[in-house]
Structure 1
Amino acid sequence: MTDTSDTRPADSETQPPRQSQLHRLMRYIPLIAPVLLWAVPCWVLLHSGQHWPPPITLGGTALFALGLVGMPLAMARGHGRRQQDPAAIVGDTLLGTSWVLFTWSILLGVPLRLVLAVAGVDESQDRARMVTWSVLGITAVLLAWGYAEARRVPRVRRLDVQLPRLAAGLDGLRVVLITDTHYGPLDRTRWSERVCETVNTLEADLVCHTGDIADGTAARRRAQAVPLGTVRATRARVYVTGNHEYYSEAQGWVDLMDELGWEPLRNRHLLLERGGDTLVVAGVDDVTAESSGLAGHRAHLAGALNGADPELPVLLLAHQPKFVGQAAAEGIDLQLSGHTHGGQIWPFHHLVRIDQPALAGLSHHGTRTLLYTSRGTGFWGPPFRVFAPSEITLLVLRSPHLPHLDGAPDGPAHPTQAGDA
């Protein structure tokens, strides 16, 4: 028998893997992004041929420089160790404003100048100034509209979802999904009350919250979250953690939701019985839970399904859509998720799609699994929603064992496409 006690791994095995150039560049994004968000609009609006009077050029440049310096400082004070809500509001608002300015400066900068040249606007200065006023006008309209969209009570999105394994006794089960409420620096206690009032009009059998309740600890955001205790469901109210809970003492949120009468489904399940048939309602912690270092927090699907009859249909709550890979491997019937916000401020959804398999709506995965991804009920950070409306979702579960008429009052029958924008 060979003694391996003195065996040394090869040098190549002891060396940590070299970081790719892309990973090294990713470290500099927090430094590069603010510069791009403010420098590009500054150049397009002030310095690309407009020839404004010196006071306008100097004053405008100073404003952009102030945004470049002030935004990261305000966000650091607002979302860092100090948790200063006024600073967070300023930083978040500047972030949303700079993103919209940056987007439309790029989209309109060169194309509009070409269009104006073809249209016969001869002076390059005139074309440049028209671009400036167009970008500023579009930005102002989108920010005003986006703010109203973010602060309103979400519209209810209704749809039927047919699950092949759903027994007849469970047909018509009404599931309401809210998620990503993100109670935060802007006090939305009244908004929270109105959301809960809307949920209560839907006569749900099951109400689900798939995480990211708030930005901040349960003690800090308690007043905004307390209305969740008024939500009514005939069978159960269930909740799973999102990634933002793990920035803000996740166990405190689990305890508060339990206090408010919600069942925290932390890698466990409950059985929902109706009409003599049974649905397994399971939940897992967010995929970031294990890296948080909190004892017992991790996404563990096997634990969530432990003891459940494998012949029964399963409804799974998981905060992030990308958990659907594991769900599909286990043959889960329907996963409910949030996290994406539908991109929240267009065209940020293109970046979301890099990280997630679905942006919004109903999608198929594997041979059996359906995923419903909500755009979210609230908003994170910048108080704007642009081309990504918030939602409260009513899903009516349908059994293939009973006939159904298309165009039923509960909504369109059996949508199957990922996203509905």
Structure 2
Amino acid sequence: MTDTSESRSADGAAHGTPPSRLHRLMRLLPLIAPVLLWAVPCWLLLHAGQHWPLPVTLAGTAVFFLGLFGMPLAMMRGHGRRQQDWAAIVGDTLLGVAWVVFTWSVLLGGLLRLVLIATGGDGQDRARVITWAVLGTAAVLLAWGYVEARRVPRVRRLDVPLPRLGAGLDGTRVVLVTDTHYGPLDRARWSARVCERVNALEADLVCHTGDIADGTAERRRAQAAPLGTVRATRARVYVTGNHEYYSGAQGWVDLMDELGWEPLRNRHLLLERGGDTLVVAGVDDVTAQSSGLAGHRAHLAGALRGADPRHPVLLLAHQPKFVDRAAADGVDLQLSGHTHGGQIWPFHHLVRIDQPALAGLSRHGARTLLYTSRGTGFWGPPFRVFAPSEITLLVLRSPQRSPSP
């Protein structure tokens, strides 16, 4: 690594990461979002020409107002100082329901309104057809999204060619799990089944790129405990995500170490086979320094210090946007999570404001590949709509490998 890269990393550590457009927008969301999410569907589904009987209008409006005031209150009790899991479940579920109903009220409702106007349907009948179509679509998507969120993820397998990878390491099997987000909904059994599926892949290297849980290590220990059963022929490695810094990051580092995982906190290890070497490095999440925890920061130069620059580098970094620094320093492959693939469509449009990739394999610069996982679990609302979870098996390929018979 060059002196320039070390200076850049040091400067980033000294001044911190500047707030992104998404972060600035997020500061306003607690004030704006509840009103938009509940008031807009209320108007479009109940008051935009439907002329429902008065009891239906009053009951429906009351439901929307309960959501408008109940959702923020439940989320504050669930995620604030009290940390009441039942309240978090209620608030998070209401958030997911509101997002889906809002989205399809605007998109599907608007489209159907245009179609029915063009066909000359009766005004009141037209408006009521739109309401039932939106509610039916939302109900189906929420039921399907709940099943998608709670199931054990399917395995996504792909070969990743690394031009600098030696022939001795060709076929190295790397399994990536990330964003497990153990939380208010007890997922201990789900966690055990995920680990069983990982073990069936017979990995050389298993990686967890952060956001293990929402809550402290002590509180979520039972859900995380199955991670201790994960097997790998070479190593199990872990880096922190941003959610660790909301709930005692050092406790999670210590627990993962206790469970037999190697926390790569701005350092690396070497994976050697057949006379060839792969540098496996990891950095703390980019939000680590702002957490105030001593010694926590994303420091790529420190992670690669002492590594032979001729060896290929596999880097674990929770957020895809770290790839700019990785590409500048010649990293071969970065593994990340964080985005959840958007989790509930069309939230992916907001994710793209903040991150350079949403999911899958992408190239950055002349050498660097980035693989972004859609995540193994889910955050907050227990739904995944058009963003399926995954366990990822990446098979590293060398250009010098022997041809298949």
Length-normalised TM-score, structure 1? 0.90
Aligned equivalents of 2:128 and 2:180: distance in 1? 41
Alpha-carbon distance in structure 1 between the residues aligned to 2:26 and 2:146: 30
In structure 2, give the amino acid aligned to 1:50. Q
Q: Give 1:276 deviation, angstroms.
A: 1.3
Figure out how many residues of one structure are paired with residues of the other and give that number.
386
Q: Does 1:147 pair with 2:179?
A: no
Describe the SS at the equivalent of 1:219. coil
Residue in 1 that maps onto 2:115 = 115
Distance 2:60 2:22 in 1: 35
CA shift, 1:402, in A, is 1.9
- Residue in 2 that maps onto 1:345: 344
Structure 1: distance between partners of 2:240 and 2:23: 28
Alpha carbons of 1:338 and 1:25: their partners in 2 closer, same or farther (altered >3 Å)? closer
Distance 1:22 1:84 in 2: 28
Residue matched to 1:54 = 54
Q: CA deviation at 1:119?
A: 3.0
Aligned ranges 1:8-407 → 2 under 5 Å: 27-121=27-121, 123-403=122-402
Residue 216 of structure 1 aligns with an amino acid whose one-letter code is G
Q: State the 1:110 CA deviation.
A: 2.3
Query: Displacement, 1:135?
Result: 0.4
SS in 2 for 1:233: coil
Ranked by relative contact order (alpha carbons within 8 Å, sequence separation 6 or more), the top structure is 2
Q: Say if 2:22 and 2:350, in contact at 8 Å, map to a contact too.
A: no
Task: Find the aligned partners of 1:150 and 1:304 in 2 and give their Cα distance.
Answer: 34
CA distance in 2 between partners of 1:137 and 1:168 (Å): 55
Name the larger-Rg structure: 1
Q: Aligned letter for 2:306?
A: G
Q: Residues 325 and 22 (structure 1 numbering): CA distance in 2 closer, same or farther, change over 3 Å?
A: closer
Contact 2:22–2:353 (Cα < 8 Å) also in 1? no
Return the offset for 1:30. 1.3
Amino acid at match of 2:104: W
> Do the aligned partners of 2:22 and 2:354 also contact (CA within 8 Å) in 1?
no
For 1:169 and 1:271, locate their aligned partners in 2 and report how far apart those are by CA, in whole Å: 14
Cα distance between partner residues in 1 of 2:110 and 2:288: 45
Query: What CA deviation, in whole Å up to 9, does each residue of 1:18-41 have, x standing for no partner?
Result: x9x999876433111110000000
Q: 1:271 to 1:22 in 2, by over 3 A?
A: closer
Q: What do the CA deviations read for 1:235-265 (whole angstroms, capped 9, x no partner)?
A: 0000000000000000000000000000000
Q: Flag structure 1 segments of 5+ consecutive residues without an equivalent.
A: 1-18, 409-421
Distance 2:181 2:23 in 1: 29
Q: Distance in 1 between matches of 2:363 and 2:403?
A: 21
For the residues of structure 1 that align with 2:213 and 2:22, how far apart are their CA atoms? 32
2:39 match: secondary structure? helix
Q: CA deviation at 1:403?
A: 5.0
Q: Is the 8 A contact 2:331 2:367 kept in 1?
A: yes
Superposition RMSD on alpha carbons, in Å? 1.6
Cα deviation, 1:371-391, whole Å, max 9, x if unaligned, reads 000000000000000000000
Q: Secondary structure at the match of 1:270?
A: strand
Deviations 1:1-60 (A, max 9, x none): xxxxxxxxxxxxxxxxxx9x9998764331111100000000010000000000000010
Question: What are the ranges of 5 or more consecutive residues in structure 2 without an aligned counterpart?
Answer: 1-18
